[in-house]
Amino acid sequence: MSSVPRGCFGEFCFGGDQVAQGYIDLPEITSAKFVNHPEFGRIYRSGDMGRMLPDGSLLVTGRLDGQVKLRGQRIETGEIDSIVTAAKEVLSCTSLILQPTGSSSEQLVSFYTPAAHTNVANASFDFHGELAALNQQLFAQLSSRLSRYMVPSYLIPLSTIPQTSSGKVDKAALRSLFNGLTQHQLGLVSNNREHGTDEDEWSDSERLVAEVIAQSLNVPRDRVSRWQPLATIGLDSISAISVARSLGDTVNRRIPISHILQNPYVALLARLATENAPDERVVEDEATDSPFFSQDIREHITAQFAEHKHAVQEVLACTPLQEAMLSAAGASSYSNQLVLRLAASSPEMKSHWQTVIDRHDILRTCFVTTTDAQYAIAQVVLQRWEVPLRTSRHPSLEDAVENCRRRVPFALDSQRPPYGLDLLDIDNTFFLVFTCHHALYDGESMSVLLQEVEQLVRGESLPSPIPYTPVIRQMLSPQPSSEGFWKELFKGFVGARRETFINRKQALPLGYTSPPPRPQTYTSQISLGLTAWQKVARDTNTSILALGQATWAILIGIVSGQDDVCFGNVMSGRTLPVSGIERLVAPCFNTVPIRIETNRRMQVTDLLTKLNVLNSKLLDHQFASLRSIQKLVSRPGRSLFDTILLLQPPKKDLDSAIWELAEDTGAMDVRLVYEVIVSWTDTSHRFRWFVS
């Protein structure tokens, strides 16, 4: 046992004349709590964990004895208690490992005090209908946020938590109370939703929510139950966008996407949709916020663009991923090219694109380097940008498309938006080529953009555009707990050596002996039907996303020969409380690392549960900068991963009367992108592999 510097985390120990001789008639506890230190002499180990602050005050953050062991697994009971007490209906909670009378196995048991019980002197068991619903809610929250082995077997409501004369939890009294419960009483408070409120009569709000979810996820109504995790029928960060929109329209109240993902049960969503609690703050207008850059930098940037005869509308900071992509080596990194075969030559196509450019700031955005210490790159919105549509005739589509790619402006410091539009005439067949840097779009915004052009071609009106600035401000808002989260996630991480992770020849199955000049796409459609995947998800209380992540993690472990693996995970970013964010034409996504251990002794169900828990926590840290994470985990300049997993729905169907997709290619600064495209109407999954 050694001392730690002031400000560091550790156990509080006390020495001096005031230290007692020990506990009366408890020699084992005395020897464990009172120890002789070679430097400080006889000290008392309090079991309280925390830090000593610079002014000498003590910050207690938890208890050392809050960590228990059950069936070989370490469990932090404090984490369980914090989830239970986060419910407004609960005052206090404590969790113990107990052995029921007549049983040889230990169980994790949580005792809690409902808020309805106040000023009760003696602890007593009082279970009734209202508490049955509360127990179901608490079990659902615990199951969605904790690994399966950390979910208590019993949740026991008490009138009060008994305490000793010293004010500590009276564990002996709790043990005695637990052993005094009958089998019938234990059955009422056990973790068994199958015999819970699913069999009771549904409320009107629950039926309404179930209908909305069934329609949004395109599943039969009878597949939706009150306490079935919605991830098992297709809810993820992408489909939650449409669920939130439909549910909000139905109840005439905005339901944040983050609330959908954090309450993934019909019963919880019904309560959320109808309760009178104030709605989460919805960002509508952030015009009063201070600018991202100093006046000197803004004036310098404005003068730069004035030299090129461009008027600046706004100077914004970049999102973390925008900055990372723009800083990547190579002019073509993170670019994408869309080739659309036109049904007929449309003379109005140029004016339609000019309309969407005028509507959306991101299509008038350039990127420049700055001298700012916090934001090295700025995105500059121009007041006006003429559509750069070039028309030309070519004998070959392949050569023409490559020429289009080469003519796109450099993404950084070119004083021009990094995209190009070309209208190609190939033997009287017309193609529209849109070549764009990924700093200007994501998959969702590209779909919205193409839909808007189609609406203009059909003569339809468009809704008001969604501003990007409020989204950027939310993305860049500091998250106080983020640093601790990433440090804990990557504690002890070593990672596979890059040169041994993927043999390039093995990664190129089409006969290449060296990396191809352009990224290659390999597509395979697995024979296992979607229904079978959904059954696996239901049986394991998990999501399609977690299944894809587990598959990829296991594969990485096999290839690299290591149990401790890391890969990039793409977050949609459209869970922010910004009204209409699902219609925003601008990039919201971010890539964050997922570190997971896949040792062979671990059951697959435990791996899936760990990933479900991690995915829930990632929502609060989804906009973290990859560079800052690398610094936190002592890997500055070294890649945490060289593969990325991306789960997304199929692209929306294009209007065949206007155009059809001929080609969609892109480049990314990673070796391998594992893209899982899930269609809830098809009978199977589709996997796309990008090798860079």
Chain segment 481-496, per-residue pLDDT in tens: 888 889 889 988 876 5
Asked if 363 and 385 count as a contact pair (C-beta separation under 8 A), the reply is: yes
- Please state, in angstroms and rounded to a whole number, the distance separating the CA atoms of residues 177 and 162: 10
- Please state, in angstroms and rounded to a whole number, the distance separating the CA atoms of residues 161 and 113: 7
Helix, strand, coil % over all residues of the chain, rounded to 5? 35, 25, 40
Is residue 617 helix, strand or coil?
Answer: helix
pTM of the prediction?
A: 0.67
Q: How many alpha carbons fall within 13 Å on the CB side of residue 215?
A: 13
* 485 bridge partner residues: none
* 114 bridge partner residues: 90
Asked if 235 and 260 count as a contact pair (C-beta separation under 8 A), the reply is: yes
Report in angstroms the alpha-carbon separations of 533 from 222, 503, 560, 685.
18, 30, 27, 9
What pLDDT, on a 0 to 100 scale, did the predictor assign at position 156? Answer: 93
Q: What is the 3-state secondary structure (H, E, C) of 338-380?
A: EEEEECCCCCCHHHHHHHHHHHCHHHHEEEEECCCCCCCEEEE
The CATH number given to 479-691 is 3.30.559.30
Instruction: Say yes or no: do domains 295-471 and 479-691 share a fold.
Output: yes
- Digit-coded pLDDT (tens) for 184-224: 788 788 886 443 445 567 888 888 999 999 988 888 888 88
What pLDDT, on a 0 to 100 scale, did the predictor assign at position 566? Answer: 92
The CATH number given to 10-65 is 2.30.38.10
Report in angstroms the alpha-carbon separations of 322 from 137, 305, 449, 519, 576.
39, 21, 19, 21, 18
The CATH number given to 204-274 is 1.10.1200.10
Superfamily of domain 71-195: ANL, C-terminal domain (3.30.300.30)
Among candidates 172, 108, 180, 193, which has minimal Cα distance to 146? 108
Q: What is the dihedral of CA 610, 611, 614, 615, to 10 degrees?
A: -150
By residue count, the chain amounts to 692
**Domains of the chain by residue range:** 10-65, 71-195, 204-274, 295-471, 479-691
Residues of the chain with pLDDT under 50: 193-197, 277-288, 331, 498-516, 680, 691-692
Q: What is the 3-state secondary structure (H, E, C) of 655-674?
A: CCCCEEEEEEEECCCCCEEE
Asked if 471 and 576 count as a contact pair (C-beta separation under 8 A), the reply is: yes
What pLDDT, on a 0 to 100 scale, did the predictor assign at position 279? Answer: 46
Among candidates 483, 637, 626, 614, which has minimal Cα distance to 147? 614
Asked if 449 and 566 count as a contact pair (C-beta separation under 8 A), the reply is: no
The CATH number given to 295-471 is 3.30.559.10
